[in-house]
Amino acid sequence: MEVESNKIKGSGNNYNCQRRVGLIYDERMCSHCAPDGEPHPENPNRIKAIWNKLQNSNISQRCVMLNAKAVEDKLIQAVHSKNHNNLIRNISSKVYASRRNRIASKLNSIYFNEGSSEAAYLAAGSVVEAAEKVAKGELDSAFAIVRPPGHHAEENEAMGFCLFNNVAIATSFLLNERPELGIKKILIVDWDVHHGNGTQKTFWQDPRVLFFSVHRHEFGSFYPANDDGFYTMIGEGPGSGYNINVPWENGRCGDADYLAVWDHILVPVVEEFNPDMIIISAGFDAAVGDPLGGCRVTPYGYSVMLKKLMDFAQGKIVLALEGGYNLESIANSSLACVEVLLENKPIRGSSEAYPFESTWRVIQEVRQKLGVFWPSLADELPTKLTNQNAPHILISSSDSKSEDEGAKLFVSADLVSAVEDVVTSLSNLKVEDQTASTFVPWRSDVSKIDIWYATYGSNMSRSRLLCYIEGGKVEGMKKPCSGSMDGHPPKEILWRTFSHRLLFGRESTHTWGPGGIAFLHPKRDNQCKTHMCLYRITLEQFNDILLQENVSNYDMSSPLFDVDALNSISNKGSISVEAVKEGWYHNVLYLGKEREMPILTMTCPLSVIESFKSGELPLRPPCKEYANILVKGLVEGNQLTEEVAKAYIEEAATEPF
């Protein structure tokens, strides 16, 4: 009795449920955006969507609002160089206006505008503010809804949409500037789908900070595309063992994969480490529906991951937003997390799918590597456990490169899609989340229809085409693609030639810079022969590519090219897609059938060909990078030798009308 009444007196609030949860949101972080209205996945709508969701669900009203504050230079310079600090402080000033875009283009996946400096200072300062309040015990926990994100930013480099490393700055602030608060050991959990390379480097030799990151890695091919995120990277010197990476070998990881990692790596280690505080680099780009992440974590999954961490550090947890590019997914995931912080229990829901076989393999590798530092990881996991897995499916393709991956199972494409359907429906079973197709109903209609997407330009190169499906960019490309809602690679790849003329025209593009780009003459011409790479993809993916090829701000609330269009195109020959008619590739052309599936390509309308003929629009050879990627596509597809491919492009680029 006595204890109970003490507790009630001691804390001003309801002792058995409501906890004090801080929230930071500030409109000024919306003023950082891509210049010239260019579309970009890391845009202001992200934090607006989260904020609106928390308000409309009456959740923000149960939280304590904190004020965003600009971070002090002194705190920035505990993590970043003076140079980098100065660059970000000044980049938005008038005197930089003429240099801004040029500086950004030299960096990896970075843009700047007039609002960037202020937003970057507020993002870092907000995480510092939230961390201080939680460390002091004024709040139980907090969520900083900030942008630009931070975890890719390194000592002397902005990259991956990140300017200052917000989480690293807040962590070093608590450890070095506020010793009186008694926060001596901090756990950073980075569940953004990308590796937190900047944070890893900051605390590489520091045993006060346990950095844990789970991310897509794919043996160094997923952004930031190097080996820093591999499980062999465990820290150095006194920091050895205090850096833990869990590198996924494939996309499509979901709740079961993440929770297996929590249960068999993270939680046992955290029990031993016993942090005084936890900071989460809470990107939501591993969420189901994310266009860049290609994973499947549900709001329920995030809520369980978070709840499991709340049992440590007396629940002192700060979440700082990092990535996450599907507005609905990030809003729902954030809502689930704040509900957990308030209620101290996961949201309602369940997920029944098993982890991938590759997930168990990675978990074993991490445990083996780190078992010397963390005894609870030293034992081998029982096979009874690790045998429970979801079938790993490798899509069979005619792409000769993947055929040496001997360990993997190859099956016919039909069987693959049949099994995939079963797996997909299994993994959706009872999971109370919204999959991509429930956000946008039309997607479920077109996601099961396969077509051949015939490519004659840069998409002949498989890595280039994959940018349109998985998101990201390849060499020579000026800005990243957002990808498709369905990130599966093409089921098959074929090459054919068609009697249509290939030509190159227009002055320049956003994607490739100056130089002409490829178009296919919509009319047949028996004198001509154009090599085309055919990808078997879904009609949903074709729609997403059509949108990206015709850069526009169309919201895809209905499909650009629907089932009716598909059924009528064989009679019409081509269909001009009105919703993206400003785009240069809005003319969908029917080229026949291959195994009963229609072959479609996209090009300009005939009227534009007329403008090329009249000289109103210039015919122009491609720039070097663009030509190189065409040659690369033709060579890697085993269609032409490099020499012949070069001559083929050269001829198409110089042939007059």
How do beta strands 277-282 and 186-190 pair? Answer: parallel
Smallest distance, Å, CB 194 to Zn ion? Answer: 4
Q: What are phi and psi of 142, to 5 degrees?
A: -160, 160
300 binds, among ligand X5A, Zn ion, none (CB under 5 to 8 A by kind): none
Contact 289, 487 (CB under 8 A): no
633 binds, among Zn ion, ligand X5A, none (CB under 5 to 8 A by kind): none
If the CB atoms of residues 161 and 203 are measured against ligand X5A, the closer one turns out to be 161
Asked, as a colleague might, if the bond just before 44 is cis with ω within 30 of 0, I would say no
* H-helix segments, 139-225: 166-177, 197-202
The CA-atom distances, in angstroms, between 266 and each of 81, 274, 382 are: 31, 12, 18
If the CB atoms of residues 239 and 251 are measured against ligand X5A, the closer one turns out to be 251
Q: What does the per-residue mask of binding to Zn ion show for 141-180, with x meaning CB under 5 A?
A: ----------------------------------------
Q: How far apart are CA 118 and CA 101, in angstroms?
A: 17
If the CB atoms of residues 127 and 451 are measured against Zn ion, the closer one turns out to be 127
Chain centroid to CA 516: how far? 30
Contact 635, 485 (CB under 8 A): no
223 binds, among Zn ion, ligand X5A, none (CB under 5 to 8 A by kind): ligand X5A
If the CB atoms of residues 192 and 206 are measured against ligand X5A, the closer one turns out to be 192
Smallest distance, Å, CB 62 to Zn ion? Answer: 28
Q: How far apart are CA 404 and CA 153, in angstroms?
A: 36
Smallest distance, Å, CB 319 to Zn ion? Answer: 15
480 binds, among Zn ion, ligand X5A, none (CB under 5 to 8 A by kind): ligand X5A
Binding-residue total with Zn ion (CB under 5 A) = 5
Two tokens, residue 210: 């346990």
Residues 249-288 that bind Zn ion (CB under 5 A): 283, 285
Two tokens, residue 383: 């096979």
Using the 8-state DSSP alphabet, how is residue 460 labeled? G
Bridge-partner residues for 500, per DSSP? 524
Q: What are phi and psi of 309, to 5 degrees?
A: -80, -25
If the CB atoms of residues 248 and 612 are measured against Zn ion, the closer one turns out to be 248
**Pick from 188, 230, 234: which is nearest to 209 by CA?**
188
| Contacts to ligand X5A by CB under 6 A | 109, 149, 152, 160-162, 192, 194, 223, 283, 285, 322-323, 472, 480
Among 46, 194, 195, 264, binds Zn ion (CB under 5 A): 194
Two tokens, residue 396: 């069979």
22 binds, among ligand X5A, Zn ion, none (CB under 5 to 8 A by kind): none
Chain centroid to CA 23: how far? 24
Does 192 engage in binding with Zn ion (CB under 5 A)? Answer: yes
Smallest distance, Å, CB 285 to Zn ion? Answer: 4
Two tokens, residue 590: 């029917």
Q: Tell me, yes or no, if 84 is annotated catalytic.
A: no
**219 burial via Cβ count (<10 Å: 0-12, 13-18, 19+):** exposed
If the CB atoms of residues 154 and 285 are measured against ligand X5A, the closer one turns out to be 285
If the CB atoms of residues 148 and 490 are measured against ligand X5A, the closer one turns out to be 148
Smallest distance, Å, CB 325 to ligand X5A? Answer: 7
Smallest distance, Å, CB 181 to ligand X5A? Answer: 28
DSSP string, 343-396: HSSPPS----PPPBHHHHHHHHHHHHHHTTT-GGG-SPPPHHHHT--BPP----
Q: How far apart are CA 559 and CA 441, in angstroms?
A: 10
Q: At what angle do helices 116-136 and 82-90 cross, to 10 degrees?
A: 120
Residues 282-341 that bind Zn ion (CB under 5 A): 283, 285, 323
Smallest distance, Å, CB 297 to Zn ion? Answer: 13
Three-class SS of residue 637? coil
If the CB atoms of residues 209 and 467 are measured against ligand X5A, the closer one turns out to be 467
Q: Which of 32, 80, 152, 488 is catalytic?
A: 152
**425 burial via Cβ count (<10 Å: 0-12, 13-18, 19+):** exposed
Smallest distance, Å, CB 191 to ligand X5A? Answer: 11
Residues annotated as catalytic are 152
Q: Which residues bind Zn ion (CB under 5 A)?
A: 192, 194, 283, 285, 323
